[in-house]
Amino acid sequence: AMPSHPLRVAVVCSSNQNRSMEAHNILSKRGFDVRSFGTGTHVKLPGPAPDKPNVYDFKTTYEQMYNDLVRKDNQTNRRYTQNGILHMLDRNKRIKARPERFQNCKDQFDLVITCEERVYDQVLEDLNSREQETFQPVHVINVDIQDNHEEATLGAFLICELCQCIQHTDDMENEMDELLQEFEEKSSRPFLHTVCFY
């Protein structure tokens, strides 16, 4: 059962499309107070070639991206149906209207979970550049998750299990390192962890 004050969790990837949204979806179903973000300057989705992604502004809604790619889908032999991008956008627009950029959000979280080291570095850079006001600690944890559908699903369940364990610790500040070590061993993934202050 969820305690009366669920952890405030942010899940962050580069474009707020796949990994962070998969985790957002699962965590919200489990009763967490969760939001998701990207840290990139633009939202990038796979395009006709690796060097030709579909690039959108963070202000673009998932609905608009979906409609744009449905149009392109009809011209490209159903590329975006086959690679699962349309399915993913359809799920995303049921969760929230548009991707959000972490650097533009001034809300406070207990836990920020990033999905790759570059994103972790961008989150730390952003948090460390802010004026400290409340000195409320925020734990930033990186779990490396490859940016594909299967890994995003596995990663989301791992993040959910981690959040559930952290939620049920008596003393988050003192038990965190031990907990992360257990998760590293169990999942054979390295975890990075830093505490920042708001």
Residues 90, 185 within the same domain: no
pLDDT category, 11, cuts 50, 70, 90?
very high
Percent of the chain surpassing pLDDT 90: 92
Distance CA 121, CA 108 (A): 18
Residues 140, 75 within the same domain: no
Q: Residue 14: its pLDDT value, please?
A: 98
Q: Residue 2: its pLDDT value, please?
A: 65
Residue 163 lies in a domain: yes
Per-residue pLDDT tens for 96-131? 999 999 999 999 999 999 999 999 999 999 999 999
Percent of the chain surpassing pLDDT 70: 98
Residues 88, 181 within the same domain: no
Residues 80, 133 within the same domain: no
Residues 108, 169 within the same domain: yes
- Among 51, 80, 95, the domain boundary falls at 95
Per-residue pLDDT tens for 49-104? 999 999 999 999 999 999 999 999 988 889 999 999 999 999 999 999 999 999 99
Count of structural domains within the chain? 2
- Kindly tell me if the per-residue pLDDT of 1 is higher than 70: no
Q: Residue 9: its pLDDT value, please?
A: 98
Residues 86, 105 within the same domain: no
What's the mean per-residue pLDDT of the chain?
95
Residue 155 lies in a domain: yes
Average pLDDT over residues 150-173: 95
- CATH of residue 150's domain is 3.40.50.2300
Residue 3 lies in a domain: no
Residues 170, 153 within the same domain: yes
Residue 31 lies in a domain: yes
Residues 183, 111 within the same domain: yes
- Kindly tell me if the per-residue pLDDT of 148 is higher than 80: yes
What residue numbers bound the domain in which 89 lies? 43-95
Residues 128, 32 within the same domain: yes
Residue 1 lies in a domain: no
Residue with tokens 């690679």: 83
